[in-house]
Structure 1
Amino acid sequence: MGGQRAQLVADERDSQTSAGSGRPAVADGPPPELVFKRRLRPAQVARELWGARELVRALAERDLRARYKQAVLGFAWAVLTPLALCAIFTLVFHRAVKIDTGSVDYPLFAYVGLIVWQFFSNTMNQGALSLANNLSLLNKVYCPREVFPLATMLVAGVDMVIGVGVLGLLFLIFWTAPAATFLWVLPLLAIQFAFTYGVALILSVAVVYLRDVRHLLPIITQMGVFATPVAYPLAQIPQRLQEVYVGFNPLGAVIEGYRGALLYGDAPDATLTAVAAVSSVVFLVGGYLLFKKLETGIADVA
């Protein structure tokens, strides 16, 4: 009892002292050891993602089944969309606008760009909704939440692999073969994946906080296919603006690099590829940091 009485007297004296000095008695804040500090360590992030690989695979399989469930043509839809666009581009851009593709047949030229664009647009559209569509699972299962956009990119990767198989058939139809420089595809793939995943991370968390974003996605997709050099070469953009353009849209350099490596036997432009690589890393790192900063409030906002 004596100890409690002494503590009460001390508290009252401190209160009177604060009141006498004219300053409000406000606590300085929680003790330093109770302040939450979140540090993102690349090695730890990589371990968590690797540990959740089975969850990523399960989510991708679920999305694949849901997409093609009760569809008569099944996985053929992964091919029909780019082939239909390729046919339209051939009629409009090649025959009407007279896009010059040199010694390469225009359907091959356009289809290479369409494979890249379909991968990006599918990941963007599905990845943007990956958190909003899995809120019940987010609140029940502990896992790195960035696995949900990653799973959508894996699904888009399956469609891309199917599209590459069709590209092989087009090579046979037009009696041509991939150029010997095809190994340049590998670094371009890394740039493509980094940029796509970064955009998916940004959009997935943006949809949770700003529901209007989901209504903008169809508009972005429709405008993006024409703003990206899918149906036309990057040379149609003034040379003085190409580096700036590629900085904002690395897919331009990626598509141009694929065409050079697969169809023309040319190495990708070093400057444009470097700009695209730096830009993709900025999108990936910036998107990941934004995602981790906002993910703690996803359950509250949703």
Structure 2
Amino acid sequence: MGGQRAQLVDERDSQSSAASRRPAVADGPPPELVFKRRLRPAQVVRELWGARELVRALAERDLRARYKQAVLGFAWAVLTPLALCAIFTLVFHRAVKIDTGSVAYPLFAYVGLIVWQFFSNTMNQGALSLANNLSLLNKVYCPREVFPLATMLVASVDMVIGVGVLGLLFLIFWTAPAATFLWVLPLLAIQFAFTYGVALILSVAVVYLRDVRHLLPIITQMGVFATPVAYPLAQIPQRLQEIYVGFNPLGAVIEGYRGALLYGDAPDGTLTSIAAVSSLVFLVGGYLLFKKLETGIADVA
């Protein structure tokens, strides 16, 4: 018995010494096999351009679905801002006495409402663009960011219709756009960059955190009053305007549109620059967050 015990002890010792001589097992794959995703701007642009027909098809589908069997059709694109414009005229212009100078208040408010409707439509529809297209996401290979982009294209169609109504308001109030209207182009770029960045963030947030979709109506209702749509940006204390525009570039965009179209003034250089930088941060940051989380969309959903 003593000999057998000694033999077992020797075998255990030899096994432990052999195990100690084995190479340590790595906790993960070798560094050269780890997947690293690199985003190249040129490649991103090529992929989006290659998916332009898909973006067009998605936007056309959403437009048809929105106005299908609607008696007034595309007229709904302008009825909402016109109704809000009428309410703002009664409340802010008549009761609060918002001073708009020589410009008719309906014109003043409607310019802001066009921008806000574009943003709110893109935000609300873009936030649900991934969640509403999960079956398509799992069947078709495409850049996932085309779905929020398609919703922004739909909102752009509504904005173009709204601009047409703005032209009618110019005729009604015997007013012509100021000669500085070309400032609208850089302001439009800031508006699009900020809006798309927010749509990218919200679209992926809704997939991972479903409570976000319940916050959207609250954001929309509060945002129209937190943004200088019915009142000028000057109502915000001057010392806070730069901080405000940094968080909400639409304030500088709307104020710039009004100055360029209604008052003949160039946009404020400082506020517009802050809005441009902030919009770029929202766009780049939103895109990076979107690409980081998009690989798990199918699993989470």
User: TM-score band (shorter)?
Assistant: over 0.9
Once the two structures are TM-superposed, the CA of residue 194 in structure 1 deviates from its matched residue by 0.1
Which of the two has higher C-alpha Rg? 2
Spell out, residue by residue over 1:184-238, the C-alpha distance to the aligned partner (whole angstroms, 9 max, x if none).
0000000000000000000000000000000000000000000000000000000
Query: Which stretch of structure 1 is more off in the superposition, 33-42 or 195-204?
Result: 33-42
Structure 1 residue 16, shift from structure 2 partner: 5.1
Equivalent residue number for residue 294 of structure 2: 295
Compared CA separation, residues 8 and 181, structure 1 to 2 (3 A): farther
Deviation string for 1:123-178 (max 9, x for gaps)? 00000000000000000000000000000000000000000000000000000100
Shift of the 17–74 alpha-carbon distance from structure 1 to 2, 3 Å rule, reads same
The aligned counterpart of 1:150 is 149
Q: Which runs of 5+ in 1 are unaligned?
A: none
Give SS of 1:101's match.
Answer: coil
User: How many Å apart are 1:30 and its aligned residue?
Assistant: 1.5
User: Secondary structure of 2:230's match?
Assistant: coil
- State whether residues 19 and 25 of structure 1, in contact with CA within 8 Å, keep that contact through their aligned partners in structure 2: no
Distance 1:141 1:217 in 2: 28
* Change in 2 beyond 3 A, CA 1:165/1:7: farther
Cα separation, partners in 2 of 1:8 and 1:69, compared to 1, 3 Å: farther
- Which residue pairs with 2:26 in the alignment? 27
Q: The residue matched to 2:228 in structure 1 has which SS?
A: coil
Q: Paired residue for 2:226?
A: 227
Give the whole-Å Cα distance in 2 for the aligned partners of 1:7 and 1:113. Answer: 90
CA distance in 2, matches of 1:3, 1:55: 80
- Cα deviations by residue, 1:86-129 (Å, 9 ceiling, x for unpaired): 00000000000000000000000000000000000000000000
Give aligned-pair identity as a percent. 96
Question: How far off is 1:7 after superposition?
Answer: 26
Pick closer, same or farther for the CA change 1:55–1:21 going to 2, 3 Å.
same
- Native 8 Å contact 1:56 1:148 kept in 2: yes
Contact 1:124 / 1:196 at 8 angstroms: preserved in 2?
A: yes
Match of 1:206 in 2: 205
Residues 22 and 32 (structure 1 numbering): CA distance in 2 closer, same or farther, change over 3 Å? closer
Q: Quote how far apart the aligned CAs of 1:260 are.
A: 0.0
- 8 A Cα contact 1:114 1:230, kept in partner: yes
SS at match of 2:190: helix
Checking the alignment, whether the CA contact within 8 Å between 1:18 and 1:24 is kept in structure 2 is no
How far residue 35 of structure 1 moved from its aligned partner, in angstroms, is 1.2
Residue 12 of structure 1, CA deviation: 13
Call closer, same or farther: CA 1:82–1:19 in 2, change over 3 Å. Answer: farther
Q: Deviations over 1:41-72 (max 9, x none)?
A: 00000000000000000000000000000000
Are the structure 2 counterparts of residues 2 and 282 from structure 1 closer, same or farther at C-alpha, using a change threshold of 3 Å? farther
Asked if 2 retains the 8 angstrom alpha-carbon contact of 1:18 and 1:25, the reply is no
Give the TM-score normalised by structure 2: 0.93
Q: Structure 2 vs 1, CA of residues 8 and 291 (structure 1 numbering), >3 Å: closer, same or farther?
A: farther
Report the CA distance shift for 1:29/1:177 in structure 2 as closer, same or farther (over 3 A).
same
Cα distance in 1 for residues equivalent to 2:210 and 2:92 = 36
Q: Mark the CA change 1:6 to 1:76 in structure 2 (over 3 Å): closer, same or farther.
A: farther
Contact residue 15 and residue 25 of structure 1 kept, 8 A: no
Moved more, 12-21 or 175-184: 12-21
What number of residue pairs does the alignment pair up?
301
1:39 Cα shift?
0.1
Q: CA deviation at 1:32?
A: 3.2
1:3: Cα distance to partner?
A: 35
Distance change (3 Å), C-alpha of 1:91 and 1:26 = same
23 and 227 in structure 1: CA distance in 2 versus 1, 3 angstrom threshold: farther
What is the RMSD computed on CA atoms of the aligned residues?
Answer: 5.1
Q: Distance in 1 between matches of 2:8 and 2:141?
A: 44
User: Against the structure 1 CA distance between its residues 218 and 13, is the aligned structure 2 distance closer, same or farther, given a 3 Å change threshold?
Assistant: farther
Runs of 4+ in 1 over 3 A off after TM superposition: 1-9, 11-25
Q: 1: distance between equivalents of 2:195 and 2:295?
A: 23
Determine the structure 1 residue equivalent to 2:240: 241
Shift of 1:22: 11
Secondary structure, aligned partner of 1:247: helix
Query: For structure 1, which segment, 22-31 or 229-238, has the greater mean C-alpha deviation from structure 2 after superposition?
Result: 22-31
